[in-house]
Chains A and B, each alone.
Chain A
Amino acid sequence: MARVYLEQVTKKFGNVVAVNEATLEIADKEFLILVGPSGCGKSTTLRMVAGLEEITEGNIYIGDTVVNDIPPKDRDIAMVFQNYALYPHMDVYNNMAFGLKLRKFPRAEIDKRVKEAAGILGIENLLKRKPKELSGGQRQRVALGRAIVREPKVFLMDEPLSNLDAKLRVQMRAELAKLHNRLQTTIIYVTHDQTEAMTMGDRIVVMKDGFIQQVGAPMEIYDHPDNVFVAGFIGSPAMNFLDAAIVRENGDLWVDAKSFKVKLPPTRFETVGEYIDKEIIFGIRPEDIDDREFVPDATDDRVVMADIDVTEPMGSEVYLYATVGQHSFIARVDARTRARDGMSHQLVFNAGKAHLFDKDTRKAIR
């Protein structure tokens, strides 16, 4: 078990910069998630830690050792691949034992470890089967087992759940989190799925275009996104972004979106002072817009009359696709809402939870 430290790590493929001066410290026993859209450099970062890609510039430490020139087999890491990469000609037992055999472990020790890992994962009855004879979920477990038996310092997982069907994915998500508690190992986990990122990790690293956008605990990132990209990427449905301006009226500050206005609570005055009469990006999460009916204490200064284009009942809640003037946004409201397609309906903006971004830098105004 060990910390992993990336120091100004850059990876170039020809002229393309895949990862740009990434600096990142992953604590011992931490479950760290690298998340971002495809092509953001998250897998490349993971493969550099694994030793499958060379580092163009910078250093990677595992423990206190610089591992830049150490081949994968000597880095004491194990990796789970997106498509599992189980050896098709070996049965489950040998797939799991292969790494130990190559490392010349005694036969009894190999047997003990494989059986133990199979027990943890509930695949004891599959040890004699070939990968071809397994379902997707079972293969996934074998791939995990192959990593577990090695008892490595660091687990690397490259989108391990993305080939599973939705239901199994939810189940494996919880199991992986449990496994982490049990094994107490450092895990670096790559995904493009913000739900996995939010639910599994101790910390999340959001990446885009080879740059690290923000690092933090899931709720910290959710509540305080550093910029428009992070705000839009984390959370589902995504945050609404409206072009607006900050205006002062009668000593109060308002977000003016032309077709409607929302009053900001006094706690925000301090930070937005220099943006008065300037254009900004007004971000608001769908759950921070509610049906007027279920917010009895709503004051008129944050109520907006909106045209409801489409309603999407999700069972526990309803998504409203609403339009006000030139702005369209999504609201996530109580399932009892009486809003219907084509109606005009009163919605309440929770201005205290509003996210304000600088229009030029696209960074959060704080």
Chain B
Amino acid sequence: MRLGFCPGLPASEVVKALIPLTWEIVARGLGEIGRLLGIVAASVVVLEGLAYLILYRLLRYKYALPFMLLLPALVGVMALIIYPFGFNIYLAFSNMNMFRFKEFSVGLSHGITNLLDVFRLPVLQKVTFFQLLSRTVLWTVINVACHVLGGLGLAILLNRPMRGKGIYRTLLVVPWALPQVISALAWKGEFHYQYGFVNLMLERMGLHPVQWLTDPRWAFVAVVLVNVWLGIPFMMVVLLGGLQSISQDYYDAAQIDGASAWQQFRAVTMPLLKPVLTPAVILGVVWTFNNFNVIYLVTKGGPMEGTDLLVTSMYKAVFEFYRYGFGAAYALVIFVFLFIFSAVYLRLSGGFKGAWES
């Protein structure tokens, strides 16, 4: 076999030239992994040893064993969630930015300024917080609606006796199983004006090609399409599981009671799917609202900030405009929005309770 981009050489030679993978590199890689695992194991041993000495020997604490078993997870949660969260709050009350990176100061006045800036200044160059918020809400509503409807439709199609069910299910799960980075970059290629299959298809159908990545409106459509494609499989899998747990007896009973297919869907499927649907929608909303990968990889928020969402512009404000204090305050605001949404939605929908509870 010969590769198109290097016709002079056999494929194996090309690969060898491109990836000079030698045993030394492999050994070094394995060594790195081993060292990392060693450090983790050693710190666990040290940590648990200390806990044992203090809790068992020194304090003779009644719940020493449960505490010791929880300790590694506690440390992980502290290091990865609680400490960063606290640090974010600290930063939100600072004036840290590109010019005051080392000699920043912390105080209530900085916090208030940051918070007001979030709402009164453009987040980057021109788009304001409220524009971003409405765009993000629109993005979330369209995406989650399409995920739920598409996922439910496919789940209902798959939840019937049919030939080759396993194959269809596997194929439909692929977008979800692929790393998001890969599929997002692949889609970026497909939206290329000249070579992407989307425009090629449009041309074949006699339509005009679309400026997918250079016209802000079409760019928004493009990222929505990509994210819908990415998100449907998760909903499908979750809802399929929910559908399969609904006993056929309810449908039999509903048929005898005189329900049409649509009435069976309304009276049996939807209410009995609710305990599965509610958490899935909450997760979907939070993930979509905070989606960074798709936007950043497909359009980078562009063109002209036209596809930026709250989180992508936050990322840019912090890591491209170096406005640390401002960015931290901004992150807190987003957090509060999502927190309120989740609490209200849980309350309104009866939350994680089963369908038979009220």
Contact = CB atoms under 8 A, between A and B. Distances in A.
User: Is chain B a partner of chain A in the same complex?
Assistant: yes
Interface of A: 50-52, 71-73, 77-79, 81, 83, 85-89, 98-99, 102-103, 130-132, 146, 150
B249 A81 contact: yes
Nearest to A78: B256
15 contacts: A71-B255, A72-B258, A77-B256, A78-B256, A79-B252, A79-B253, A79-B256, A85-B247, A85-B252, A86-B253, A89-B272, A98-B257, A98-B267, A132-B356, A132-B357
A102 B261 CA distance: 12
Given A102-B263, A131-B356, A83 B249 contact: yes
Interface of B: 247, 249-250, 252-260, 263, 267-268, 271-272, 274, 354-358
Contacts of B253: 79, 81, 85-87, 146
A322 B191 CA distance: 87
B267 A87 contact: yes
Contacts of A87: 250, 253-254, 267-268, 271
Given A85-B253, A87-B250, A87-B253, A99 B355 contact: no
Contacts of A50: 252, 256
Contacts of B257: 73, 98-99, 102, 146, 150
A72 B355 CA distance: 26
A146 B253 CA distance: 10
A43 to B, nearest CB: 11
Could you say which of B250, B256, B357 has the most chain A C-beta atoms within 10 Å of its C-beta?
A: B256
Contacts of B358: 130
Contacts of A78: 256
Contacts of A73: 255-260
Given A79-B256, A102-B257, A102-B258, A85 B355 contact: no
A72 B255 contact: yes
Contacts of B258: 72-73, 99, 102-103
A87 B358 CA distance: 13
A271 B26 CA distance: 93
Nearest to B253: A85
A134 to B, nearest CB: 11
Nearest to B255: A72
Given A131-B356, A132-B357, A89 B271 contact: yes
Contacts of A81: 249, 252-253
Contact of B249 (A85, A89, A102, A103): A85
Contacts of B274: 89
A131 B250 CA distance: 13
Contacts of A52: 252, 255-256
Contacts of A83: 247, 249
Contacts of B256: 50, 52, 72-73, 77-79, 99
Given A88-B354, A89-B355, A103-B258, 13 more contacts: A52-B252, A52-B255, A52-B256, A72-B255, A72-B258, A77-B256, A83-B247, A85-B247, A85-B253, A89-B356, A98-B267, A132-B354, A150-B257
A132 B354 CA distance: 10
Given A73-B255, A83-B249, A88 B267 contact: no
